[in-house]
């Protein structure tokens, strides 16, 4: 007898905690109609309680598998038992770390198996690793449909992994344009910030402070900008929000250069929209990206964006229109881009307005959710043509 409940989507991730990939899962669950799909979140390592509270639905099932380092084959029996218990209609794994979970999904006969690629691996920033290509090819027969978050990742899957075009969809992240919106009267004060005085120009970034995000390059670019224009010490300030191994390194760089008093690194914050509204310019110095949620959030808040030319960044940031794209790890180029905006507030504000308009036009949360719902619907109709949908 066919269940009257909506089909279940099981989202499988490495860890369900603060991050762009995980935030996208939260947005998808929160904004997809409850009448369309139910959801479960399985973390190979851990579901962080604080982060899980961002999910507003009370019917979501969570599971932490506490996977040790190494291959996850030992988890296959537990995953298979969980899949038999929950009976998902769709298993949706994300990134290479979770891809192997397609095996127990196939083993238990899950009707639809989807895999999403959200960004580059820290050990394979340019996608050239033969090992990573081989691993993705190994699991390719178990996946019905791939989702790439950028054109860059779609090209990688098609041309280096050998995914046929018919099994490949490209869906951009969406951003909540109500939660992330411009401050109505210009830059708004950030709670706890020492840099709320009018007349300052605040450069800022938000994200995990880890190697692939390269916040130390931004610290170096800030130092270099002040070396190029010492007079800007009066009004140029740096805000770096996030925690991780690079935080102490960035603090040490700033202190050694004698500019620690011009920077604020408060650690992780839960009020990211308010932080964004307190900046004048958003900077993303990453060495690799898929489609950056934080770029979209910054654009939605009306900020100009300086970003590195990696992954899908250049698909989001239009140089000379909504911001500036610079080569990755090029501290001099980033410093010059920051100075150009700090020296021309009118241009900076114009880029921000153009970015907000582009997000409203092309990167809405509704468009993203609708694309995933349509994908799940289509794949289920193909795999279960006689199933009744409510």
Q: What is the pLDDT of residues 13-22, one digit of tens each?
A: 999 998 888 9
The pLDDT value recorded for residue 271 is: 95
The architecture in CATH of the region 201-362 reads: 3-Layer(aba) Sandwich (3.40)
Q: How confident is the model at residue 39 (pLDDT cuts 50, 70, 90)?
A: very high
CA distances from 287 to 31, 116, 211, 284, 299 (A): 31, 20, 8, 9, 20
Q: How confident is the model at residue 4 (pLDDT cuts 50, 70, 90)?
A: confident
Report the pLDDT averaged over residues 312-322: 95
- Cβ–Cβ under 8 Å, residues 45 and 14: yes
In the chain, CATH 3.40.50.2000 sits at: 8-174+364-383, 201-362
Report the pLDDT averaged over residues 262-286: 97
pLDDT at 390 over 80: no
The pLDDT value recorded for residue 1 is: 41
Q: What is the pLDDT of residues 51-74, one digit of tens each?
A: 999 999 999 999 999 998 877 788
- Cβ–Cβ under 8 Å, residues 202 and 228: no
Report the pLDDT averaged over residues 79-83: 97
| Lookup: tokens for 51 | 């982060």
- Return the CATH number of the domain spanning residue range 8-174+364-383: 3.40.50.2000
The pLDDT value recorded for residue 122 is: 74
Cα–Cα dist 113/369, whole Å: 18
The pLDDT value recorded for residue 34 is: 96
Q: How confident is the model at residue 126 (pLDDT cuts 50, 70, 90)?
A: confident
Q: Nearest-CA neighbor of 65 among 103, 109, 16?
A: 16
Cα–Cα dist 292/271, whole Å: 18
pLDDT at 317 over 90: yes
pLDDT at 49 over 60: yes
- Cβ–Cβ under 8 Å, residues 147 and 114: yes
pLDDT, mean over the chain: 94
The pLDDT value recorded for residue 386 is: 62
Report the pLDDT averaged over residues 343-365: 95
């Amino acid at each position: 007898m066919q269940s009257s409940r909506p089909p279940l989507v099981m989202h499988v991730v490495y860890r369900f905690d603060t991050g762009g990939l995980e935030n996208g899962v939260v947005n998808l669950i929160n904004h997809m109609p409850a009448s369309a799909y139910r959801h479960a979140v399985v973390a190979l390592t851990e579901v962080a309680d604080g982060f899980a509270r961002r999910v507003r639905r009370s019917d979501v099932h969570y599971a932490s598998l506490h996977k040790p380092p190494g291959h996850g084959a030992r988890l296959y029996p537990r995953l298979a038992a969980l899949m038999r218990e929950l009976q998902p209609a769709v298993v949706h794994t994300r990134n290479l770390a979770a891809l192997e979970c397609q095996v127990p999904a196939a083993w238990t006969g899950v009707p639809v198996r989807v895999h999403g690629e959200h960004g580059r691996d820290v050990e394979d920033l340019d996608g050239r690793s033969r090992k990573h290509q081989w691993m993705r090819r190994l699991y390719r027969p178990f996946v019905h449909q791939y989702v790439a978050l950028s054109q860059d990742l779609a090209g990688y899957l098609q041309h280096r992994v050998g995914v046929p075009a018919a099994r490949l969809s490209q869906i951009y992240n969406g951003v909540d344009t109500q939660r992330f919106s411009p401050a109505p009267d210009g830059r708004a004060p950030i709670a706890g910030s020492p840099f709320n005085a009018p007349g300052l120009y605040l450069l800022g970034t938000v994200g995990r402070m880890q190697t692939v995000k390269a916040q130390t390059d931004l610290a170096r670019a800030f130092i270099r900008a002040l070396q190029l224009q010492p007079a800007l010490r009066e009004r140029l300030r740096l805000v770096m929000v996030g925690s991780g191994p690079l935080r102490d390194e960035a603090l040490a760089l700033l202190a050694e250069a004698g500019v620690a008093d011009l920077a604020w690194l408060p650690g992780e914050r839960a009020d990211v929209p308010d932080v964004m509204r307190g900046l004048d310019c958003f900077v993303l110095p990453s060495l690799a990206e898929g489609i950056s949620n934080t770029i979209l959030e910054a654009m939605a808040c009306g900020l100009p964006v300086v970003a590195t030319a990696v992954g899908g960044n250049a698909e989001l940031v239009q140089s000379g229109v909504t911001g500036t794209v610079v080569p990755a790890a090029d501290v001099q180029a980033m410093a010059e881009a920051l100075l150009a905006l700090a020296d021309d507030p009118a241009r900076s504000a114009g880029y921000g307005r153009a970015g907000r308009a582009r997000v409203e036009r092309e990167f809405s949360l509704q468009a993203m959710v609708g694309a995933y719902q349509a994908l799940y619907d289509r794949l289920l109709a193909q795999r279960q043509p006689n199933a009744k949908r409510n």
